[in-house]
Amino acid sequence: MTIRLFNTMSGQVEVLAPGNQSTDDGDAPALGMYACGPTVYDYGHIGNFRTFLHVDLLRRFLKQQGIAVRHVMNITDVDDKIIRNAVAAGVPISAYTPRYEKAFFEDMDALNCERPEFVPRATENIPEMTALIEQLAAKDLAYKVEDGSWYFRIAGFPEYGKLSKKDFAGIQDGARVQVDEYEKDAARDFALWKAAKATADPNEMQWQTPLGPGRPGWHIECSAMATKFLGQSFDLHAGGEDLMFPHHENEIAQSESASGKTFARHWMHVRFLLVEGRKMSKSEGNFFTLRDLLLRGYKASAIRFLLLSVPYRHQLNFTFDGLLESTSAVDRLRTFHQRLLEGQAAGKWPSGANPELQQQACNAAAAFTAALAEDLNTAEARAAIFDLVRLANAAADAGTLHADDVPAVLDTLTRFDQIFAVLEDRDEAITRAALKWAEQEGRLEEANADLRASLALSDAEIDAMVEERNQARRTRNFARGDAIRKELADKGVLIEDSKEGVRWKRTGTSRTGAHAPRP
């Protein structure tokens, strides 16, 4: 199926297909995509992960559609914020960043994001950056100033502004950004290379290069690494909406004036996430890292599902109510999946077929794919699956779900999960890992008390206690049965008796959600 995606450059939804990317191993052309990665100076927040998750969703969808991807994500492990924090901590940046890089990948794993094919670190690609700056200097598009820093001459690139559609007609040649943090609205010649200051702290990293001692600017990093792994011209470049200007505009200016070719053909920008309707900020008290949410007892799968549920070009308003709804939505899907599998294993579904239901399963799969193929409409895609869950559950209740229908329904569910990746229950292990991290960091008091209590018991221990209670009840020892129920409740585990057997759930409350019935 043709995949269409909004292209910030053209302002239109356009076909996305692999262009000229050949792979090193000579396989079929892959779609070359570059997504700006994290700056590893702190733990990632849910806004960052909204962007990374939509890039993950795109790569998973491309692969499902038979398109190989060559996905590059840089790690920014040298920049002003990193230097500021490392100097404050009294350590070299090379000692400061590894813990945040490690934490970033742990978080990406917790959120079930696939690892890109290439994850280059800025500090390991300095020669590529200086070579690019030298190329620009040879064309008089890079110039050196008194302190030894190098700047890009925006006036030498008349197309500057074509991505963000800003008008820079009046730009003054030679006006420079003097501050370290990039201005959001003014175009100024920007730093390609930042000279080491005479007063530099020894923990600031500097490289001895043909350009002089110093370190790279942020924008040149991405130009150099994208070109190194994808060539001078490639298919897709992605990032959060804040990066459109100046970061991506500057990447284009540097890369295209050096190569004379179109840098990225397609530009994807993920809109920002708001929290409870407001911009997320530490001073507003509405700033959350993934770890903050895990310690409050929310499941990683529910967070993934929520962050993906609103299509990437719409603002997502993150709320705790929304997160609880997402928790129930994931539970509903898992319970349904389990119901199908357990019924199948137990030979519970009557033999024969229900052609109408099979057709509905096929339609849901087609609607799911069509929604994603049209600019990654995740809301419609998930709605198609929930429609099927409703219909199939109703059929199962009415005895009209037959054994021959189950594979078609499972197949649609599998297609869904290749992209959304929430069916496998890894939540408890992830939450435990977050608690362990909090303990090591001396931050355990940030964790929800119910959650800590409920995780004191392992799944196996709970299963054993539930079984002991079942045994007591079978022998009509109700007092013992009630005592076990109470003991579990005190430890944050709730028992529910249902027609289909006994279920239990941890009451880090509804936050950790229900466990599927035990066989």
Q: Tell me how far, at minimum, the Cβ of 223 lies from Zn ion, in Å.
A: 8
Q: Which does 38 bind (CB under 5 to 8 A by kind): ligand AMP, Zn ion, none?
A: ligand AMP
**Could you tell me whether strands 150-152 and 142-144 are parallel, antiparallel, or unpaired per DSSP bridges?**
antiparallel
Instruction: Give the residue with the Cβ less far from Zn ion, 38 or 161.
Output: 38
Residues in contact with ligand AMP, counted by CB under 6 A, come to a total of 15
Report the 10 Å Cβ neighbour count for 201: 13
Cβ-closest residue to ligand AMP?
240
Q: Which does 48 bind (CB under 5 to 8 A by kind): Zn ion, ligand AMP, none?
A: ligand AMP
Listed residue (495, 489, 504, 508) closest to 432, CA to CA: 508
Instruction: Give the residue with the Cβ less far from Zn ion, 78 or 222.
Output: 222
C-alpha dist (Å) from residue 189 to 37, 97, 124: 24, 29, 26
Q: Which does 39 bind (CB under 5 to 8 A by kind): ligand AMP, Zn ion, none?
A: ligand AMP
Q: Tell me how far, at minimum, the Cβ of 15 lies from ligand AMP, in Å.
A: 24
Q: Does 222 bind Zn ion (CB under 5 A)?
A: yes
Residue type, 256: E
Q: Is the distance from CB of 512 to CB of 299 less than 8 angstroms?
A: yes
Q: Tell me how far, at minimum, the Cβ of 264 lies from Zn ion, in Å.
A: 11
Instruction: Give the residue with the Cβ less far from ligand AMP, 143 or 272.
Output: 272
Three-state DSSP string of 78-120: CCHHHHHHHHHHCCCHHHHHHHHHHHHHHHHHHCCCCCCCECC
Listed residue (62, 75, 71) closest to 115, CA to CA: 71
User: What H or E segment, with its residue span, contains residue 316?
Assistant: strand 316-318
Q: Tell me how far, at minimum, the Cβ of 53 lies from ligand AMP, in Å.
A: 10
Site for ligand AMP in 216-255 (CB under 6 A): 239-240, 242-243
Q: Measure the CA–CA gap between 83 and 205, rounded to whole angstroms.
A: 8
CA gyration radius, the chain: 27
Q: Is the distance from CB of 70 to CB of 23 less than 8 angstroms?
A: yes
Q: Does 18 bind ligand AMP (CB under 6 A)?
A: no
Q: Tell me how far, at minimum, the Cβ of 167 lies from ligand AMP, in Å.
A: 23
Q: Does 369 bind ligand AMP (CB under 6 A)?
A: no
Instruction: Give the residue with the Cβ less far from ligand AMP, 18 or 38.
Output: 38
Site string for ligand AMP, 30-59 (x = CB under 6 A): ------x-xx-------xx-xx--------
Site for Zn ion in 148-187 (CB under 5 A): none
Site for Zn ion in 266-325 (CB under 5 A): none
Site string for ligand AMP, 252-291 (x = CB under 6 A): ------------------x-xx------x-----------
Q: Measure the CA–CA gap between 152 and 24, rounded to whole angstroms.
A: 32
Q: Measure the CA–CA gap between 470 and 466, rounded to whole angstroms.
A: 6
Q: Is the distance from CB of 122 to CB of 216 less than 8 angstroms?
A: yes
- Count of all residues that appear for the chain in the document: 519
Joined together, the tokens standing for residue 341 give 């599998």
Joined together, the tokens standing for residue 61 give 């969808």
Beta partners for residue 318, in sequence order: 275
Q: Does 36 bind Zn ion (CB under 5 A)?
A: yes
Q: Which does 222 bind (CB under 5 to 8 A by kind): Zn ion, ligand AMP, none?
A: Zn ion
Q: Apex CA 424: angle with CA 420 and CA 425, to 5°?
A: 120
Instruction: Give the residue with the Cβ less far from ligand AMP, 280 or 370.
Output: 280
Instruction: Give the residue with the Cβ less far from Zn ion, 40 or 409.
Output: 40
Q: Tell me how far, at minimum, the Cβ of 263 lies from Zn ion, in Å.
A: 12
Which residues here bind Zn ion, judged by CB under 5 A?
36, 222
Q: Kindly list the residues in this chain that would bind ligand AMP in the complex (CB under 6 A).
A: 36, 38-39, 47-48, 50-51, 239-240, 242-243, 270, 272-273, 280
